[in-house]
């Protein structure tokens, strides 16, 4: 895992040095540069594979192809063997060198042969052509912009800002999406004219302009006969084992994130069975018991023979991380679990350099708590608006509570989605901080007039439509795989994976997610809905894989997310700081928010009648970003 930066066109070594300096945390072990006519490549290295020989940028035998990569190519040994059989000569044991020879051999199709998490830049010296590419699920970030007919790219937005070519002007569309979905969606960024490369996408630049963009992977749903639960479980276990085995390869110490939930337990079971050594597992617990799963993590570790390391997180511990979170986040992110993610990353990095995680399980097996509500409302006729309005009034009358997914929080969230035109609009209204109408009232007219409050819902709907499926599939057959894919392409990529990447790389820790292996994703997207819902709801497939291997209590306890008790914090230890960020004078000078609407939001939450934790947290984190992020790296 590393950090990359560069330009194709007119740039300088000095600019490149500034770009790599601000992402030194991603790669503290080494740096490297390649600067020639029309090209500059910069690299910061965290040594994982071929520690002594994997210096980047690196080239093919004759120096006509240069490559830098942030990430890992899994199973690269088989690709290397195929290339060696075609007379390619290798000088290192690095997975990055495989990319240079793969491009020589297969040209623009080379990415089809690469399975992993990566952001790649390839410079073709003969053609004076740059190609940048991002992995299939967007696990590794890659930002880009164009300035004076020069393409600039980097692993983090702060790196582009450091080059001096980014005009830091807030994009109203991105601002609206942030408040409606808790994150800025790909391909947009918080700044105008700066973009994130789409996943499974490569883009070429030649002659001062974008030459082409192309997709190198797209999953498909194929109508299949039901093979039965036994065969489904066997196929799933085999693929998880392959994905875990490939991710156990490292020339540095490797361990596991262990939350106490099912996803990390499945990864831990497979890893402990296949590793040639006793593995270490790392858990963050909470002194707020409504958010704590550490007892189940301990039971899992004991059952699997893992060396277990546990730290209990107090409110004061988490609160001390808030400013650090905003320092590492280049864009506003309203996911409070960035705080425990930072702490577990810091804690884990004291012992290992690589950690396996369970990210992706909820998206692929429909594990989120609002899935049953979708099931119910998907079959309710929409002929009358009276019943939804009546039900919404009843749900909104349930008092707020500070606990994890309290009854009041769930009831009031449910009310927001009633009456939505379809499941995609309903989902955005349930999950995000604010509805479009609420946001319009919160913003000053200058911003409110420029935003598109329908974009977030349209985006989720559009992502769902990208999934290819067999014409023999019924509407029901295709809906839930499309929902999973849409979540992989939005919530997981733009919120969860951003949080994990930034938090782990801040401490030079590499996180690997076996569930996001392409083969596992394609397999689970094609598993019939009956094995994810109904009798198999609550990720029962994972429970069956673990049954008899971990205590029954680990399998049966209620699901907890990796969350933080922000509802209580906003009325308690963060109250004064929130007041400072929302003062009338400050808001008037800032010119983004309506001061009265902000104060109404704070009063409503403090009253205990309306749960505004998500709205306030999104506002709070935006204000911190605005202070710490929008104007730094001059």
- Which residues are the active-site residues? 2
Name beta bridge partners: 124. Answer: 65, 129
Q: What is the DSSP string of 105-160?
A: HHGGGGGGG-EEEEEEEEEETTTTEEEEEE-TT--S--EEEEETTEEEEESSHHHH
At 461 the three-state DSSP class reads helix
DSSP conformational letter for 19 = H
Rounded distance between C-alpha atoms, residue 392 and residue 54, angstroms: 59
Read off the tokens for 66: 């240069």
Rounded distance between C-alpha atoms, residue 409 and residue 452, angstroms: 27
Cβ(44)–Cβ(19) under 8 Å?
no
Rounded distance between C-alpha atoms, residue 360 and residue 518, angstroms: 11
SS (H, E, C) 259-296: CCCHHHHHHHHHHHHHCCCCCEEEEEEECCHHHCCHHH
209-215 and 194-196 beta bridge pairing: unpaired
Q: How many CA atoms lie within 13 A of 145 on its CB side?
A: 24
Cβ(619)–Cβ(332) under 8 Å?
no
Compute the chain's Rg from CA coordinates: 24
The tokens 């893992």 sit on which residue? 306
Cβ(456)–Cβ(177) under 8 Å?
yes
Read off the tokens for 17: 């040095």
Cα-based distances in Å from 539 to 301, 363, 512: 20, 10, 21
């Amino acid at each position: 895992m590393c950090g990359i930066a560069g330009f194709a066109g007119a740039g300088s070594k000095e600019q490149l040095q500034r770009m790599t300096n601000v992402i030194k945390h991603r790669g503290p072990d080494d740096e490297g540069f390649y600067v020639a006519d029309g090209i500059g490549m910069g690299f910061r290295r965290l040594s994982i594979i071929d520690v002594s020989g994997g210096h980047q940028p690196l080239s093919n035998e004759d120096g006509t192809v240069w490559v830098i990569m942030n990430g890992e190519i899994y199973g690269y040994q088989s690709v290397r063997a195929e290339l060696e059989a075609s007379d390619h000569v290798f000088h290192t044991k690095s997975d990055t060198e495989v990319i240079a020879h793969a491009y020589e051999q297969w040209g623009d199709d080379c990415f089809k042969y690469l399975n992993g998490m990566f952001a790649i830049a390839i410079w073709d010296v003969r053609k004076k052509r740059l190609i940048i590419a991002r992995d299939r699920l967007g696990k590794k970030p890659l930002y880009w912009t164009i300035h004076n007919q020069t393409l600039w790219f980097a692993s983090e937005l702060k790196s582009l800002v450091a080059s001096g070519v980014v005009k830091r002007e807030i994009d109203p569309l991105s601002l609206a999406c942030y408040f409606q979905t808790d994150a800025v969606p790909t391909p947009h960024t918080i700044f105008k004219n700066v973009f994130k490369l789409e996943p499974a996408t490569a883009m070429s630049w030649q002659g001062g302009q974008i030459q082409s963009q192309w997709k190198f992977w797209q999953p498909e749903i194929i109508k299949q006969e039901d093979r039965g639960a036994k065969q489904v479980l066997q196929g799933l276990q085999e693929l998880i084992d392959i994905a875990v085995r490939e991710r156990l390869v490292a020339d540095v110490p490797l361990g596991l994130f262990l939350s106490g939930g099912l996803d990390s337990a499945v990864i831990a079971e497979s890893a402990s069975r296949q590793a040639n050594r006793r593995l270490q597992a790392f858990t963050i617990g909470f002194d707020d018991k409504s958010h704590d799963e550490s007892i189940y993590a301990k039971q899992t570790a004991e059952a699997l023979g893992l060396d277990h390391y546990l730290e209990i997180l107090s409110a004061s511990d988490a609160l001390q991380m808030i400013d650090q979170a905003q320092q590492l986040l280049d864009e506003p992110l309203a996911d409070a679990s960035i705080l425990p993610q930072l702490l577990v990353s810091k804690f884990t990095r004291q012992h290992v350099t690589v950690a396996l995680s369970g990210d992706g399980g909820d998206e692929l097996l429909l594990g989120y708590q609002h899935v049953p509500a979708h099931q119910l409302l998907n079959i309710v006729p929409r002929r009358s608006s009276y019943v939804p309005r009546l039900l919404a009034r009843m749900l909104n009358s349930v008092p707020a509570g500070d606990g994890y997914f309290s009854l009041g929080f769930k009831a009031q969230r449910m009310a927001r989605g009633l009456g939505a035109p379809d499941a995609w609009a309903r989902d955005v209204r349930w999950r995000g901080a604010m509805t479009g109408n609420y946001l319009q009232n919160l913003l000053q007219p200058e911003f409110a007039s420029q935003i598109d409050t329908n974009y977030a819902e349209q985006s989720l709907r559009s992502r769902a439509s990208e999934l290819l499926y067999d014409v023999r599939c019924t509407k029901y057959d295709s809906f839930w795989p499309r929902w999973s894919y849409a979540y992989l392409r939005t919530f997981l990529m733009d919120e969860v994976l951003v949080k994990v990447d930034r938090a782990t790389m801040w401490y030079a820790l590499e996180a690997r997610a076996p569930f996001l292996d392409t083969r596992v994703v394609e397999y689970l997207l094609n598993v019939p809905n009956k094995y994810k819902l109904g009798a198999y709801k609550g990720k029962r497939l994972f429970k069956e894989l673990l049954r008899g291997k971990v205590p029954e209590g680990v399998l049966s306890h209620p699901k907890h997310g990796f969350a933080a008790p922000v509802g209580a914090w906003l009325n308690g230890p963060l109250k004064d700081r929130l007041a400072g960020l929302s003062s009338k004078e400050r808001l008037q000078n800032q010119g983004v928010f309506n001061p009265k609407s902000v104060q109404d939001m704070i009063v409503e939450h403090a009253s205990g009648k309306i749960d505004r934790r998500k709205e306030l947290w999104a506002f709070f984190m935006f204000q911190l970003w605005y202070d710490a992020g929008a104007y730094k790296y001059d």
